[in-house]
Amino acid sequence: MSAAEQIERIAHARHVARVASELLISIRANEDSRDGGSGVLGDERASALRAEGDQRAHVLIAEAIRERFPDDVLLSEEAADDARRLTAERVWIVDPLDGTREFGERDAGGRWRDDFAVHLALWERGLGLTIGVVALPAHGLIFGSDAPPTLPPASLGPLRIAASRTRPPSVVAHLEASGGATLVPMGSAGVKVMAVLRGDADAYVHAGGQYQWDSAAPVAVALSAGLCATRLDGSPLEYNVPELHLPDLLVCHPDRATELRARLRAAGVPAGDGAPASAAESAG
């Protein structure tokens, strides 16, 4: 793919992520109109809201990609796996609404949760992940691998680890219990990785299993910014492989990677060769 084609694709990915973000916010606004701003959202209505967000964002993104780049293949959480992706030259790996649970929730004060995201990544044969765009609709922010923000300095003190607020992995709980880390609970893999990118956390550790679309775009953005992104044992992350499931993930500030890996080994996580994988290796 030429440089001009690369620029065209990431510009389009940013545009699509912005439009999908606006759609998701409008769906919430319609819900506010429906309930009169009461802040009350029953289980049935919350489930319907999540389903609407997932499906409408998927349709918008899928149509935008297929219309502009008809030869590219799409792998989306909200569509059946397309076997053509395994022989395609370019595959978009998309999560139209990452953090579906959070999208349909309000906090104790009746305010909508803000920890959900939109993911678009492009995988290219022989290169791995070459484009990543993560939008945080509730914050009006879009992060892209073409222009990642400068990493803030590494923090001091216990590691701040972004983790699932509903099902943190046992290894993370072990790190907290040992006194070497504090948990920063939040939803959405994209939100967690962007928290590391922005300096609100030092690392994101996940061991409960995810799918390729959960992490492809956040990992592409993280690697472009200089963060470490690998499997827990230090081995490379692989995308557009036959198995959709990814067992675990580690994203962290490079200056705290050695410390975190040592603590993971002490917690019983098998070690790799001890060397953080390069961006190209980790984005396979």
Across 220-247, average pLDDT: 96
Q: What is the pTM of this model?
A: 0.92
Q: How high is the pLDDT of residue 166? A: 72
Confidence of residue 231 (pLDDT cuts 50, 70, 90): very high
pLDDT band per the 50, 70, 90 thresholds, residue 160: very high
- The answer to whether 131 and 10 have CB atoms below 8 angstroms apart is yes
Q: What is the structure's pLDDT at 279?
A: 44
pLDDT over 80 (residue 276): no
What percentage of residues in the chain have a pLDDT greater than 70?
A: 93
207 or 128: whose pLDDT is higher?
Answer: 128
pLDDT of residue 282: 47
What's the whole-number mean pLDDT along residues 232-238?
93
- Return mean pLDDT, the chain: 91
| Concatenated DSSP letters of 24-57 | HHHHHHHHHHHHTT-----HHHHHHHHHHHHHHH
Poorest-pLDDT segment among 75-89, 103-117, 216-230: 103-117
CA distances from 248 to 51, 112, 117, 206 (A): 26, 29, 20, 5
> What whole-number distance in Å separates Cα of residue 109 and Cα of residue 107?
5
Tens of pLDDT, residues 89-100:
999 999 999 999
What average pLDDT score do residues 102-130 get? Answer: 94
**Amino acid letter for position 16:** V
Q: What residue ranges define each of the domains in the chain, with the CATH number in brackets?
A: 3-144 (3.30.540.10), 159-282 (3.40.190.80)
Q: Is pLDDT larger for residue 38 or for residue 254?
A: 254
The torsion angle over the Cα atoms of residues 173, 193, 17 and 279, rounded to 10 degrees, is: -130
Span 208-226, average pLDDT:
96
Average pLDDT over residues 53-75: 98
> How confident is the model at residue 244, as a pLDDT?
97
Q: How many CB atoms lie within 10 A of CB 134?
A: 30
Query: Average pLDDT for residues 216-232, to the nearest whole number?
Result: 97
